[in-house]
Chain A
Amino acid sequence: LAKTTQPISMDSYEGQEVNITCSHNNIATNDYITWYQQFPSQGPRFIIQGYKTKVTNEVASLFIPADRKSSTLSLPRVSLSDTAVYYCLVGEYRGGGADGLTFGKGTHLIIQP
């Protein structure tokens, strides 16, 4: 599994755009990049997944450069409720079924008023 490196913590203010970058230098050809969000004492929640270029959904965007050695999760116009831990995961998606996820330490994002 490719090792991921992301900031331990970040802070920002309500209404700002927040970008969290994850490094994964050893990403393999079949690996996908997935981000999860976790609030205190709750289970993680899937945010977004991508393979290359840009992916956007209703809550976030994921930017992946051509070399795929890093990725950036972008949260537009954050609010206090976006305060959480964000995990970057890199692993192979196999059509035969999802595997156990490998979580790192994550990034503690704190949003201030």
Chain B
Amino acid sequence: DSGVTQTPKHLITATGQRVTLRCSPRSGDLSVYWYQQSLDQGLQFLIQYYNGEERAKGNILERFSAQQFPDLHSELNLSSLELGDSALYFCASSGDPAGQSRNEQFFGPGTRLTVL
């Protein structure tokens, strides 16, 4: 158990809909990362938040957005869903950079999104 929790575990929805995925980082971790894993694209970095602020963007679509709240949990919002958005979405967290000795991220169990 990494200490990172994600809800829901599974989500099935239709094209054109909007969903919200939730992530709670490990206690004390300030950074939250979102990744998408699909069969054809592999594991891709989407976006990173640090202590409530957006820090880095990866291959995140404009239809997707995220935020990190004062209690450090994060939400990933996916809108105008398409069939190709079906994937596993992982959240990861890491600690205070001042205290880090290596680039280690702790991944949650993921949310499996199926768009029909």
Contact = CB atoms under 8 A, between A and B. Distances in A.
Interface residues of A, number: 26
A69 interface: no
A96 B48 CA distance: 14
Interface stretch (B12-20, B66-74, B77-85, B96-104): B96-104
Contacts, number: 77
B25 interface: no
A113 interface: no
A104 B88 CA distance: 16
B108 A101 contact: no
A45 B43 CA distance: 13
A64 to B, nearest CB: 14
Contacts of B105: 46, 98, 101
User: By DSSP majority rule, is chain B's interface helix, strand, loop, or mixed?
Assistant: strand
A49 B104 contact: yes
Question: Chain B CB within 10 Å — which of A34, A38, A99 has the most?
Answer: A99
A100 B58 contact: yes
A43 B103 contact: no
A45 B2 contact: yes
A77 interface: no
A15 to B, nearest CB: 28
A91 B48 CA distance: 16
Interface in B14-66: 31, 33, 35, 42-48, 50, 55-56, 58
Given A43-B90, A98-B94, A100-B33, A34 B45 contact: no
Given A41-B110, A43-B110, 5 more contacts: A43-B2, A49-B103, A94-B97, A97-B94, A100-B47
Interface of A: 32, 34, 38, 41-46, 49, 87, 91, 93-106
18 contacts: A32-B102, A34-B102, A34-B104, A41-B110, A43-B108, A44-B107, A45-B2, A98-B94, A98-B97, A98-B100, A99-B48, A99-B56, A100-B33, A101-B45, A102-B45, A103-B42, A105-B42, A106-B42
